[in-house]
Amino acid sequence: MLIIGAVLGLFPLILGSVGTFLSVKHLCDKVVLRRGGVTVEALSAHKLHGRSEYRFIDGEGNRRTFTSALNTGRLEVTYDPRNSKRMAVSISLLLAVPATVLKLAVALSLVAVGVVAAFSPVIP
């Protein structure tokens, strides 16, 4: 019975850890892009599974795509010219920080539940 609790506790622990990592990474990307990113207007190409794919041309003339849950015809996208994989929607940090804090609260609560469920049977 103890092993079942420990194994089941790993699921929220892993899920919460991944959620925490992705939330912090997303916020760090936004901060880095605000300082050294290039903002362009991207046009919606098509929708796929409720998300829109936006296309734009970067400063070097390369075609780039960005996928977002925001379904608008046009979107301002900020990208890092040195790292082609780092892109984000150009929105205010006043909007981005509360959303990230909420995501972190959920993810860290999952981590806490996972730690208690996975390790409390093992620790006396």
Q: What is the pLDDT of residue 124?
A: 67
Q: CA angle, corner 102, sides to 28 and 106, nearest 5? A: 105
Q: What is the pLDDT of residue 52?
A: 86
Residues 63-89 have pLDDT tens digits of 998 888 877 888 888 888 888 778 888
Q: What is the pLDDT of residue 98?
A: 86
Task: Say how far apart CA 3 and CA 9 lie, in whole Å.
Answer: 10
Contacts of 12 (CB under 8 A, 6+ apart): 110, 111, 113, 114, 117
Answer whether residue 124 is part of any domain: no
* Higher pLDDT pick, 2 / 119: 119
Answer whether residue 123 is part of any domain: no
Answer whether residue 3 is part of any domain: no
In the chain, the number of structural domains is: 1
Answer whether residue 1 is part of any domain: no
Task: Give, as one character, the DSSP assignment of residue 114.
Answer: H
The answer on pLDDT for 61 being more than 90 is no
Answer whether residue 122 is part of any domain: no
Answer whether residue 108 is part of any domain: yes
Task: Say how far apart CA 40 and CA 38 lie, in whole Å.
Answer: 7
Answer whether residue 105 is part of any domain: yes
Determine the average pLDDT of the residues in 14-28: 90
- Structural domain of residue 54, as residue ranges? 8-117
Answer whether residue 44 is part of any domain: yes
pTM for this predicted structure: 0.69
Q: CA angle, corner 105, sides to 99 and 110, nearest 5? A: 130
User: How crowded is residue 90: how many other Cβ atoms within 10 Å of its Cβ?
Assistant: 18
The answer on pLDDT for 15 being more than 90 is yes
Cα–Cα distance list, 52 to 41, 42, 86, 94, 109 (Å):
14, 11, 18, 24, 31
